[in-house]
Amino acid sequence: MNKRSLCFFPMLMLLFAFVFCSSAHAVASNDWTLKIFVIPPDIGWDSEEGHSIKATLTWFESEINQDPYGLADHDISFIFMENPITQETIANDASLIKNSKCIAALNFASDEINRLLIPQLGYAKIPLLLSHGEEVWLMDGALPYPYVFALSLYRDYRTTALVEYAKKVFSPSVNNRVAIVGSRFSHNEEREAVICEDLLSDMNWPVISFWTDSSTFNTFSLLESEIKSESAGILFCYVGSMATREIWRGVRGLESQFQIWYPGIPNELFTSYNGIVFADQSMKDAEEGIFINIKRKLWVTRAVDVKSEVAAGNAYALASWLFEAIKKGKRVDPDTLIYFLANAENIPFGDQTLEISEKTHRPEFRNVYIIRIIDKAYQLIDTLKIKGL
Q: Which pLDDT score, from 0 to 100, does residue 158 have?
A: 98
Residue 251 has pLDDT above 70, yes or no: yes
Claim to verify: residue 307 and residue 180 sit in the same structural domain: no
Claim to verify: residue 143 and residue 262 sit in the same structural domain: no
- Closest by alpha carbon to 122, among 92, 147, 85, 91? 147
**Beta-sheet strands, E only, within 126-276:** 128-130, 139-140, 143-144, 148-150, 176-184, 207-213, 232-238, 257-261
Is residue 25 included in any domain, yes or no?
no
Looking at per-residue pLDDT, the higher value among 3 and 61 belongs to 61
Is residue 17 included in any domain, yes or no?
no
Q: What confidence tens digit (pLDDT) does each residue in 294-311 have?
A: 999 999 999 999 999 999
Looking up residue 205, the CATH number of its domain turns out to be 3.40.50.2300
- Closest by alpha carbon to 383, among 313, 308, 287, 318? 287
Mean pLDDT of 115-142: 96
Beta pairing class for 139-140 and 143-144: antiparallel
Label residue 322 by pLDDT band (50, 70, 90): very high
Mean pLDDT of 365-370: 97
Mean pLDDT of 245-273: 89
Structural domains counted in the chain: 2
Q: Which pLDDT score, from 0 to 100, does residue 26 have?
A: 30
Q: Which pLDDT score, from 0 to 100, does residue 58 have?
A: 97
Claim to verify: residue 328 and residue 374 sit in the same structural domain: no
Residues 353, 377: contact at Cβ < 8 Å?
Answer: no
Residue 34 belongs to what H/E stretch?
A: strand 33-39
Looking at per-residue pLDDT, the higher value among 218 and 236 belongs to 236
Mean pLDDT of 280-285: 90
Is residue 4 included in any domain, yes or no?
no
How many residues belong to the chain?
A: 389
Reduced to 3 states (helix: H, G, I; strand: E, B; else coil), residue 337 is helix
Beta pairing class for 75-80 and 33-39: parallel
Residue 229 has pLDDT above 80, yes or no: no
Residue 1 has pLDDT above 60, yes or no: no
Phi, psi of 171 (to 5 degrees): -125, 110
Is residue 245 included in any domain, yes or no?
yes
Claim to verify: residue 311 and residue 176 sit in the same structural domain: no
* Continuous H helices in the chain: 3-32, 48-65, 90-98, 111-121, 157-169, 187-202, 241-253, 292-302, 309-329, 334-342
- Closest by alpha carbon to 243, among 268, 225, 269? 269
Angle between helices 48-65 and 292-302 (to 10 degrees): 50
Claim to verify: residue 254 and residue 375 sit in the same structural domain: yes
Label residue 13 by pLDDT band (50, 70, 90): very low
Q: Which pLDDT score, from 0 to 100, does residue 207 have?
A: 92
Claim to verify: residue 323 and residue 378 sit in the same structural domain: no
Mean pLDDT of 284-298: 87
Q: What confidence tens digit (pLDDT) does each residue in 101-114 have?
A: 999 999 999 999 99
Is residue 16 included in any domain, yes or no?
no
User: In angstroms, what CA-CA distances link 49 with 106, 242, 292?
Assistant: 15, 30, 15
Residue 183 has pLDDT above 60, yes or no: yes
- Closest by alpha carbon to 34, among 338, 323, 341? 323
Q: Which pLDDT score, from 0 to 100, does residue 191 have?
A: 95
Q: Which pLDDT score, from 0 to 100, does residue 289 have?
A: 83
Task: Indicate the average pLDDT of the chain.
Answer: 88
Domain encompassing residue 314? 32-153+286-356
Q: Which pLDDT score, from 0 to 100, does residue 222 have?
A: 66
Claim to verify: residue 166 and residue 133 sit in the same structural domain: no
Is residue 9 included in any domain, yes or no?
no
Claim to verify: residue 74 and residue 170 sit in the same structural domain: no
Contacts of 9 (CB under 8 A, 6+ apart): none
Claim to verify: residue 146 and residue 291 sit in the same structural domain: yes
- Closest by alpha carbon to 76, among 36, 48, 116, 107? 36
Claim to verify: residue 325 and residue 208 sit in the same structural domain: no
Is residue 12 included in any domain, yes or no?
no
What whole-number distance in Å separates Cα of residue 270 and Cα of residue 376?
8
Q: Which pLDDT score, from 0 to 100, does residue 218 have?
A: 60
Claim to verify: residue 60 and residue 74 sit in the same structural domain: yes
Mean pLDDT of 178-188: 88
What whole-number distance in Å separates Cα of residue 382 and Cα of residue 368?
8
Is residue 21 included in any domain, yes or no?
no
What whole-number distance in Å separates Cα of residue 315 and Cα of residue 244?
35
pTM: 0.88
Claim to verify: residue 143 and residue 275 sit in the same structural domain: no
